[in-house]
Amino acid sequence: MPSDANLPEFTIRPMKPEEAPDVASLIFSSTNHWYESNGRGKIFSGKPEHCSVFTEVYEDLDPGCCFIAVSDNDQSILGSCFYHPRETHFSLGIMNTRPDVASKGVAKALLNEIVTEARFKGLPTRLVSSAFNLDSFSLYTRQGFAPYQIFQDMVLEVPYNGVTTTAIPGINVRAGTTEDAVHIDALERSIWQTSRIKDWKYIAENHQRIWSLTVAVDVGGKLMGALASINHTGSELIGPGIATNEDVAKLMIQRELNQHRSSKPVVIIPSDKHALVSSLYEMGARNCELHVAQCLGEPPKINGVVMPTFLPETG
């Protein structure tokens, strides 16, 4: 609870299940407010309840792992932040605060709770934040987070008949299954010291019928990459994904784009992978935002291609 008389009085506590609709509405309204107030237009074009996909997916994966800031005056929700404990790291999920309490300590207090949890477990905390939102960037770097990777958010209007696919001799791309999860986990560990096997199993199981998963394997059956996507009114994103090289990443992106025909999904590409970025330009993609991966603690060393996403935001 803040002590400055000019700041709102609030309490940080875990979100209750019945508060999920209010948190979904906060995600919708506060995110759109920031983008609109910065001249960029709404990022969520549907209804507030469409953002329930965030609360539902995150509660499926990590029940009880959302902190909220509640006003001591009227018990209204001032802010929220999801977090995702994994074997190798803590991942900071989507954070939102009400516009009327911006820069008044709510986001800092939420972040402190999660950083404290991660330090108690002896794990680094990772996040991917907008490079356009300097207030957000400052919040994290003041806490000690340091950037380690720049990403380009690239949007592509997929034709109704799909995008043209290419081929690499000896590499096959196919739909992923739950049996692939253990191999995806091993590949992630080798590419960037990351383990989140339950996320890959969850995506492959696809109980909500909103996920797609592609894997790439060589002629011997060795896994070379994995890429997921979500197709939902509240979120249409390609990712998360990993690949041993840019050519493999390109094949998987093409297959996943074709799961989004007649739509405009966003794929998040590491900016230092020039060939991959160029291939997206050739397909007609354009940049719509930049994001920065940051870490508090030892950052992962990337040996391959890593493509993040914002649902599930667990890398």
Is residue 79 a contact partner of residue 106, using CB atoms and an 8 Å limit?
A: yes
Class at the top of the CATH hierarchy for domain 10-123 = alpha beta
Q: What per-residue confidence (pLDDT) applies to 280?
A: 97
Q: What is the pLDDT of residue 7?
A: 60
pLDDT score for 190 = 98
pLDDT at 140 over 60: yes
DSSP symbol at 131:
S
**Predicted confidence (pLDDT) at residue 2 exceeds the cutoff of 60:** no
Residues 6+ apart with CB under 8 A from 181: 197, 200, 201, 204
Domain(s) labelled CATH 3.40.630.30 in the chain stretch across 10-123, 153-307
E-only strand ranges, 197-265: 211-218, 223-232, 235-243
Residues 211-253: tens digit of each pLDDT: 999 999 999 999 999 999 999 998 999 999 999 999 999 999 9
Q: What is the pLDDT of residue 33?
A: 87
Whole-prediction pTM: 0.94
- Please tell me the distance from the alpha carbon of residue 193 to that of residue 189, in angstroms, as a whole number: 4
What homologous superfamily is domain 153-307 in, according to CATH?
Gcn5-related N-acetyltransferase (GNAT) (3.40.630.30)
If you average pLDDT over residues 138-159, what whole number do you get?
A: 96
pLDDT at 32: 86
Cβ proximity of 297 and 120 under 8 Å: no
Q: What is the pLDDT of residue 87?
A: 97
Residues 59-118 pLDDT 10s: 999 999 999 999 999 999 999 999 999 999 999 999 999 988 877 899 999 999 999 999
pLDDT reading at 209 higher than 70: yes
Report the DSSP beta bridge partners of residue 217. Answer: 172, 223
